[in-house]
């Protein structure tokens, strides 16, 4: 009988914890979630949690980096032939899947850590994408673009606009393009 690789166990544990955290975030604010809750929902011992992470922020950062790592190759190969950006396209799709969650997290003081980490991750992705297409932009411009994208999406949700996601994506791409030097 062959023994399973430790790497698979590590991945399985981290995935269980990340999935548990994502589920808890649907019904609890960031500040209300405890490591004990994450472990219970993920069916992972607290000692296993601490073998992988020091804090729940470490788990959050790993989750964001894992999700965005899947997007990096797309951002690197995007030629913007369609006139859009991988980063803003993903934002539209991701946020419109659960608009109520986005509205709560973007406005709730107890979720400020979660939203700021999400924002920083998206800024990093957009900066990477712009660099890959030869459009270096100052960090302030990237921050402006992501903040602007959030504002457009928030307005879309609040007004219950009938705008198709493709139109929203094109609007964001135009907004980013105009902000670039």
The predicted-structure confidence for 104-155, as pLDDT tens digits, reads as follows 999 999 899 999 999 999 999 999 999 888 888 999 999 999 999 999 999 9
**155 Rama sector, left if φ>0, alpha if ψ -120 to 50, beta otherwise:** alpha
Find out whether 149 and 179 touch, Cβ atoms under 8 Å: no
Mean local confidence (pLDDT), 65-93: 83
pLDDT at 1: 44
Residue 72 CB coordination number (10 Å)? 16
Q: 48 versus 162: which is more confidently predicted?
A: 48
Name, in order, each residue with C-beta under 8 angstroms of 87's C-beta and a sequence gap of 6 or more. Answer: 71, 75, 122, 125, 126, 129, 146
Q: Count of CB atoms within 10 A of residue 6's CB?
A: 8
């Amino acid at each position: 009988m062959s023994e399973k690789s430790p790497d698979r166990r590590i991945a399985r544990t981290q995935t269980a914890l990340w999935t548990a955290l994502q589920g808890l975030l649907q019904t609890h604010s960031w500040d209300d979630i405890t490591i004990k809750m994450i472990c219970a929902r993920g069916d992972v011992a607290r000692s296993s949690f601490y073998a992988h992470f020091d804090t729940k922020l470490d788990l959050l950062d790993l989750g964001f980096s894992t999700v965005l790592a899947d997007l990096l190759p797309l951002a690197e190969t995007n030629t913007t032939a369609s006139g859009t950006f991988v980063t803003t396209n993903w934002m539209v799709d991701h946020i419109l899947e659960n608009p109520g969650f986005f509205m709560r997290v973007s406005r709730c003081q107890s979720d400020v850590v979660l939203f700021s980490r999400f924002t920083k991750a998206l800024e990093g992705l957009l900066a990477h994408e712009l660099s890959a297409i030869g459009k270096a932009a100052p960090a302030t411009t990237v921050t402006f673009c992501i903040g602007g994208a959030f504002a457009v999406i928030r307005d879309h949700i609040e007004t219950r606009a009938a705008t198709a996601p493709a139109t929203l994506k094109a609007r964001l791409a135009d907004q980013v393009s105009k902000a670039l030097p």
